[in-house]
Structure formats: structure tokens, C-alpha cells
Amino acid sequence: MAECNGNIVDVLTSDYAREIYGQVKDLPIVDYHCHLSPKEIYEDKPFENIGQMWLDGDHYKWRLMRAAGIDEEYITGGKSRKEKYLAFCDAVSRSPGNPVWDWTAMELEKFFGVTKPFLPEYAEEIWEECNAVIEREKLSPRKAIAMNNVEYIATTDDPCDDLKYHRLLREEGYGVKVTPSFRTDNLVNMHAPDFKEYVKKLGKAAGVNIKNFDDYKQAILRRLDYFCSMGCKFSDVGVEGFPEQFEFDERRLNASFAEILTGDGKNARTRSCDKLMGNLYIFLAREYEKRGIVMQLHLCVTRNSNDEMLNRCGRDSGFDCVGENISVPALRRMFNLVQERGGMPKTIVYSLNPTLYYELITLCGAFRGAVPGISWWFNDHKRGITELLAAAAELSCIDNLVGMLTDSRSFLSYPRHDYFRRILCEFLSHVTPEKASGCAVSVAKDLSYYNAHRLIEEEKR
């Protein structure tokens, strides 16, 4: 996407688009949703080589390699990092049109000054050039962050996490703000076979003997308050499905929770889970609103689709898929119930299934404080980003969108913000006349930086 790199198709097709982009390209980055390791940021160990820096933990790249037919030994298996790097090069060379093609070229240029095409005939040269830069510059997580003008990172953390490395970074006075996000998948996923074990883990972390649903909520609040004390501004959930039953009778809720903990009957367990999940979603939303926490809902995803590879590689290894659309009436009912009980927190709603965009964007428009999330995962390409921007512009106020995030475990992923900014500026150049360039630049700045910056600067209520 950079004009100087002939490898990448530049989406900025006019002087007007380039004029808008010139006003946003150097703005700082607020990465309000990512999966970076706070431990790696704190320890700041220099990377060994481009294979480690590029491929360790990056499931975006892993999925592309699998789609290209690369054997798993070259992805998560025992092959050397150079062998994995060469296999990745082979996969990219056969995948023009995939966003990883553009991201790879942008990352090579941004971090290593490499503008050669990432093709097998140049793979050895690029390996040597990148490794020379890594060795000379002692490239490390913090140097990668600094090179991209990142000012804020919100990691993704389980409520039981001790947040040790967030605390150490804060005590050290690290210049980039690294805060935890309250990720509630394990709290609400009561269908999970290991849920009972998780309840014990939560009780231990919170110092609460969890005997019923009331105790469970108290343990959650203790952990949420601890996260807030460490600077948490965002929550998140990304489980399959969405609750369609909302129970409020405390006696019934405690009985349902007991059913789950005792595991009496699959059908009873399913009904119990749905009711408890519905209550918990509303409970959490209210507690977020009290504390000024932004609620993120990642919807329409199918997790860990391949059972064999789940057993082999574990969770979050790149086997999630676009899921079926959730029940919009259920989401509407949840929003209304939250509103009736004191008000909505700032809410960002993402859909992995783009066929739900119209329903979600218009539903968000009916509730103050709810906004559609930017294109997520399988939609993080030029057409997908443009499709979301167009729908938001046509159905709502595009300036309400919070903007781009990396959603990544890789320290090389920050050029994705530049990728988004270019696509955004090209889009704005088509929907605003040049005489309204001030409007286009203002919106571009908000979506590139300022809307996210305002969220992290808001004081807790």
C-alpha cells in the first residue's frame, strides 16, 4: 500500500484521497483491542529472527498457510523457524488478493526497509536482510511499538489473570499505556466442559467461596474492580451464539447455577446455561456502565471448528469460522433490559458475518451509546472494510465509528492501521466533494485516532 513499494496495490487513486491521507498517516495509534502479551512487552527480549518475529502466534498467517496446503509441521509443528518462513513465503506468493499479501509487504517495508516482492526467488535475500536489521537494531517488542507511534495498548485478559506484567509496566513507568481488558468468555460460557473447574479458579482469584450464583457475581465484581484499578477501560466477549432467555428471579437463578455445578442432565443444563448467560450479560453491562467501561460484543463466530486440530494445537490456533447470525430480537431485548435498569454502557458491536451489518447498524442507531464495530477478522480486507464503511455511512453517522484495531498477537501488525487509514481516505474521497475536504479530513482523523483516544481519556464515572 505504500506508494514507493511496487509490490503493493495502492488504494489511494486520486490527489484528493492522498491529501486526506496526508492529514492522518502520522497520527498516533490507540490499539484498543489486541492479543499482545504484556509479559513479552515487559521483558522486551530482542527477537531472534524474522521467522520468530513474524510467525509465532499469528493465526492470521497460519490460516493462510493451511489454506495454501502447507503441512502443519511448517505452521505450528517442529520445523525450524527458517523452514516455516520459507513455507509462509510460498503461501503468500500464491495468495494475491488476500490482505496478508499487503500486510506482509507493508511490514517488510516499515520494519526492515525491504521493498523486494515477497516471492520465493527473493526469500533467502529477504531472510538475510531482515535478520541483519533485527541483530543490528536489537529489534524487540518495545522497539516495534515505538516505531509505530503507539500510545495505548489494551490487551485481552481473563478475569482470573493476576495482571502481574501490567502492574510491573505501570511501576516501571513505561511510556506506552498498557492496560488489561476484561474478557468474559470463560465467565459466560457455561456450556464449556471445564466450567466447574473455572468456577473454582475464579473463586480462588477473587477470594470468594462460590456456592451459588450470587457468590459468582460477587467474585466477578471483585475481579472487575481489580481490573479497573489497573486501568481497564474495555471489556470484551466473543463466544458462540447469544443468550435468548433473560431470567431475574434470584431463587431460580441460584437453582439453575446449582444444576450446572452438579451437571444433572444435558437438557436441564442447556436451559440453565441460557438463562444464566442472559442474566449475566445484563448484570455485566450494568456494572460496566457504573465504572465507565466500554462493552465490546464480538458476535457471529464459530470457535475451534476442527476437533482434531483443537486437540492437536489447542484453542485460538486459527480454526475459528464465520458463524451463523445471532438473534437480533434477543440483542434488542438485552439492550432494552440494560437500559431499563439504569442505562447502557458505551457499547461496540462487531459481527463476523457481514450479512448482519444492516440489522446491527440500525439497531445500534436506536440506542444511544451503541455503535457498530469496525470490520473484524475475515472482513479485514479492502472490500470488507469498504463495505462496513459504506453501510455505516448510508445507515448511520460514520463519524461515530471508533476506528481500527489490530486484534493481533503479533508485534508486526501495526501497519494494519495504515492499511485501514488508506482505505478510509479513499472511501471518503468518493463520498465527499473536494470543496468539503475539511469534513473528510475531520472524519478521517476521528476514525484513525481521535474517537478511540476520547474513549481512553474519559474519566470513570
pLDDT (average), residues 155-172? 98
**Given the C-alpha cell 466442559, which residue does it identify?**
193
Q: Quick one: which H or E segment has residue 329?
A: helix 328-340
Strands 347-351 and 370-372: parallel
7 and 117 in contact (C-beta within 8 Å)? yes
Q: Which amino acid is at 153?
A: I
- Res. 188: pLDDT tops 70: yes
Task: Give the residues across from 347 on adjacent strands.
Answer: 295, 370
Task: Return d(Cα 327, Cα 243) in angstroms, integer.
Answer: 9
- Res. 458: pLDDT tops 70: no
pLDDT score of 5:
44
Nearest to 298 by CA among 334, 345, 351, 241: 351
**Beta carbons within 8 Å of 102's beta carbon, 6+ residues apart:** 1, 8, 9, 419
- Res. 107: pLDDT tops 60: yes
pLDDT score of 304:
87
Identify the burial level of 157 via C-beta atoms within 10 angstroms of its C-beta, where 0-12 means exposed, 13-18 middle and 19 or more buried: buried
pLDDT score of 319:
85
- Res. 78: pLDDT tops 80: yes
pLDDT score of 9:
61
**What confidence category does residue 3 fall into, taking pLDDT thresholds of 50, 70 and 90?**
very low
For 18-71, the pLDDT digits (tens) are 999 999 999 999 999 999 999 999 999 999 999 999 999 888 999 999 999 999
**Beta carbons within 8 Å of 281's beta carbon, 6+ residues apart:** 188, 237, 243, 334
pLDDT (average), residues 203-229? 97
Global pTM value? 0.94
If one counts every other C-beta atom within 10 angstroms of the C-beta of residue 220, the result is 22
pLDDT score of 266:
52
pLDDT (average), residues 401-412? 95
Q: Residue 301 is placed in which grid cell?
A: 463466530
pLDDT score of 1:
43
If you average pLDDT over every residue of the chain, what do you get?
93
- Res. 2: pLDDT tops 50: no
Q: What percent of the chain has pLDDT over 90?
A: 86
If one counts every other C-beta atom within 10 angstroms of the C-beta of residue 71, the result is 11
DSSP 46-104: PPS-HHHHHHTT-HHHHHHHHHTT--GGGTTSSS-HHHHHHHHHHHHHT-TTSHHHHHH
For 149-160, the pLDDT digits (tens) are 999 999 999 999
The total number of residues written for the chain in this structure: 461
- Res. 264: pLDDT tops 70: no
Q: Residue 57 is placed in which grid cell?
A: 502466534
Q: Residue 425 is placed in which grid cell?
A: 481516505
> What domains does the chain contain, in order, with CATH numbers?
15-47+148-457 (3.20.20.140), 48-139 (1.10.2020.10)
**What confidence category does residue 310 fall into, taking pLDDT thresholds of 50, 70 and 90?**
confident
pLDDT score of 460:
41
